[in-house]
Chains A and B, each alone.
Chain A
Amino acid sequence: MVDIGYASLFISFFLAIYSIVGQLLGQKLDNKKLIKSARGSVLAVSILTTLSSLILIYLLVIGDFSVKYIYDYTSSDLPLLYKISALWAGNAGSLLLWLWVLVIYTVSITYSDKLKELTSYASSILMTNAVFFLFILAFVTNPFEKFDYIPAEGAGMNPMLQNFGMIIHPVTTYLGYVGFAIPFAFAMAALIIKNTDDLWIKITRKWTILAWLFLTLGNLYGAQWAYVELGWGGYWAWDPVENASFIPWLTGSAFLHSVMIQERKNMLKIWNVSLITLTFLLTLFGTFLVRSGILTSVHAFGNSDLGMFFLVFTGIVFVASFWLIIDRLNMLKETREFESYVSKESSFLLNNLILVGIAFATFFGTIYPLIGEAVTGSRPTVSIPYFNAVNAPLGLLMVALMGICPLIAWRKSDMKSLRDNFLVPVALSLVFMVTAYILGLRKIYALIAFTTVFFVTASTLIEFIKGTRVRMKMTGENPVTALFKLMFKNRRRYGGYIIHLGLIMLIMGVIGSNAYEKVEQKTIDFGETITIEDYTLTYTNLAERKEGKNDVVYADLSVTKGGKEFGIVQPEKVFYPTHPNPSTEVGIKGSLKEDLYVILAGWDKEGKATFKVLVNPLVAWLWIGGYVMVIGTIFALWPGRGAEVGPKYVRGS
């Protein structure tokens, strides 16, 4: 079984090479048989990789500790779900998952056959990517490497990975990472065959949005995992690994906006090709960061030679893709005219500037320890305070643009339309600002941030109201029908607005939890209390229970809020026989307003225990906002009427 798993990878490596050569040569010689045969090998690679992945999953489930990977990441007492999720707990397994997703994506585009010539080149580019992963898996880090002996028990999974978030987070992140390879491959294919219109954008639009959706979910689940599992009260630490998936999310978001200009005005061709190339390169570079151990990270895969392979591959892709872009510059001629400085088009340019600006700031901050060390000799740390200070003002600008953009028309906006469109949301925002100040929102940056968030919400909702009114006037429909039909007949546009509203909810959670977090740490005896904000926590019990082979020590604290019963909160420490350090399971009592977050930090023989208690305002909105973004994306993406692009705004059209 183990040998079949490895042999599948080994054979796939050569089949993948054949699929590239066969498709390219077949295309050049117009040899349909050769193309068909090469495409068959793409299918064969996907079947063999699936077989290889399923074998590894089977070995994980049965606990075959003669395989090093199974020994390193599982133990016989591990619950079934975590045994399966061990597939992506380590380097080799997670790269196999990556490859698996990549070849399934590749086979689906290879056989979708919308445009034969473009598809052959795109498929070849994706298979080149697969060849790299197959090389790594077959010759550098073999997931099927065997011991000469059979250990009685496995080393066990890192306790921090034994969480539902860790089952979802890596899979969604990989689906996102790999998904961006598709538009990149089609962009390069379009350049190779010198087809420089927006066809590649149209073909890959759904892939791009899906990749973006999965990367959004990946980041969100990662944050949720950090919040409940790392036990420090936060959800985003600007760790290099977190940044590695945040940066391509930013450039991917910029790309999603800038392609609209190409679709509508036949502009920004060079920029769009460069941006998707950059996004793909950043997914590779992020993997280099995670796998190399070059930077200190809370949750990297640790030091390994793998990073160097990723760096070299990233370098090759960088040189090859930008050489191609530069070589085809003269073919990327485009309409070069904006009718006005103030238009939706120009606001999209600003949107791209700021998104890419935040991506650059995050990238620069992430690699700055290496730059600082190279120049000064000592490696500085770049952590939360730096990223918050640099990215907060840029992020606020970005949020403001989200409110401004819907209020500006395509082509040009005159003073009258600007005044008419901005008057209500700006006036409402000012009223909100004054009211919030009177009600006690006195931190100036929080006040500005919340007001900006309110402005975006108002301007977005006004778009819904305006559209509904116009429809009611034209069709005589009632408000509900008019709103419903308005949204469903313009799903792309209103799906986008729903995504914006979700993002606003998420940002509201970020502002609230950063600006108004409260912390209290105290060592108390039975019957004693900790008071924080409106909450009073009374320590009532410290006990131990068995969960499989693990020992769980937990404390009970009865909680009152404003003098009223609020239930019991139960923070835990879990001790694993296979790991030296216990993991923290926090006790959370959440509401839409705030989370009461309790950590059992330590205890003594007499039962005195130390608790760290946090009140994190508005955190629930982070997760709610994330799900609203998912709903908006699915709404916009759903096939059928309403999902198509809006009218073109080019001269003569």
Chain B
Amino acid sequence: MIMKLNSIKFPLVLILTALFILSSVPVLAVEVDKNLQKEIEDSLVCQDGCGMILAACENQTAEYMRKIVVDRLAKGQTKDEIMGYFVDIYGVKVLAAPPAEGFNITAWVTPFVALILGGVLVYLVLDKWVFQARLERMDQEDEQNKKEIDLSEYEDKLDTELKKYL
């Protein structure tokens, strides 16, 4: 077994390890709901500016935040309570999606409103085009009928003329 961790890496490793051991203590003491933990970590963003969701991030800030999640879950807090705790500290930017309240409702509603409006527009255009096609067909049929009428008039005339000369 080679264990030659040099001096550059050692402080980093020590910090990481301390955080991991700290984060694992409550897990050993009280088993937390892993699915709920993942759900919460998926809904929060690491706050060191990396922009990653908590579940995906491995930096020290993320580990610290994860430890808080596990601690609070171990104390029996709900998802809303834990999320509320983080919002109190960092503001709404800690949430991975804008809360559906106040002006932020527009974030959730706008894409669907736009799609519905687009759908209405497509329907109206389609309706116009289909209607236009029907009109065109009716015009063509009228034209056809007219031709038939005209032709019958000529046929009558032709019959009359023929009778005259035959």
Contact = CB atoms under 8 A, between A and B. Distances in A.
Nearest to B9: A575
Contacts of B96: 381, 383-386
Place the interface of chain B in its size category.
35 or more
A341 B21 CA distance: 64
B2 A357 contact: no
Contacts of B122: 349-350, 353
Given A234-B56, A543-B3, A605-B13, 8 more contacts: A237-B52, A298-B50, A341-B130, A354-B115, A381-B45, A386-B107, A582-B12, A602-B20
Nearest to B129: A338
Contacts of B20: 523, 601-602, 610
Contacts of B118: 353, 356-357
A337 B103 contact: no
Interface of A: 230-234, 237, 239, 267, 296-298, 336-341, 346, 349-350, 353-354, 356-357, 360-361, 364-365, 368, 371-372, 375-376, 378-386, 389-390, 394, 519-520, 522-523, 541-545, 551, 553, 575, 582, 584, 599, 601-605, 607-608, 610, 612, 651
A372 B98 contact: yes
A58 B150 CA distance: 84
Interface of B: 1-6, 8-9, 12-14, 16-17, 19-21, 24, 34, 38, 42-43, 45, 49-53, 55-58, 91-99, 102-104, 106-108, 110-112, 114-115, 118-119, 122, 125-130, 132-133, 136
Contact of B93 (A230, A349, A350, A378): A378
Contact of B132 (A336, A551, A575): A336
Contacts of A297: 51
Nearest to B137: A339
A601 B58 contact: yes
Contact of B1 (A237, A353, A386, A543): A543
B95 A380 contact: yes
A383 B108 contact: no
Contacts, number: 180
B124 to A, nearest CB: 11
Given A383-B45, A384-B96, A553-B9, A338 B126 contact: yes
Nearest to B15: A602
A231 B53 CA distance: 13
A552 to B, nearest CB: 11
A380 B100 CA distance: 11
Contacts of B119: 353
Interface of B is mostly: helix
Contacts of A364: 107, 110-111, 114
Interface centre among A337, A340, A341 (most CB of B within 10 A): A337
Given A575-B8, A603-B17, A376 B103 contact: yes
B64 to A, nearest CB: 13
A232 B58 contact: yes
15 contacts: A232-B56, A337-B129, A354-B115, A361-B115, A364-B110, A364-B111, A371-B106, A376-B104, A380-B107, A385-B97, A523-B24, A543-B2, A582-B12, A599-B58, A610-B20
A493 B50 CA distance: 44
A360 B114 contact: yes
Nearest to B38: A519
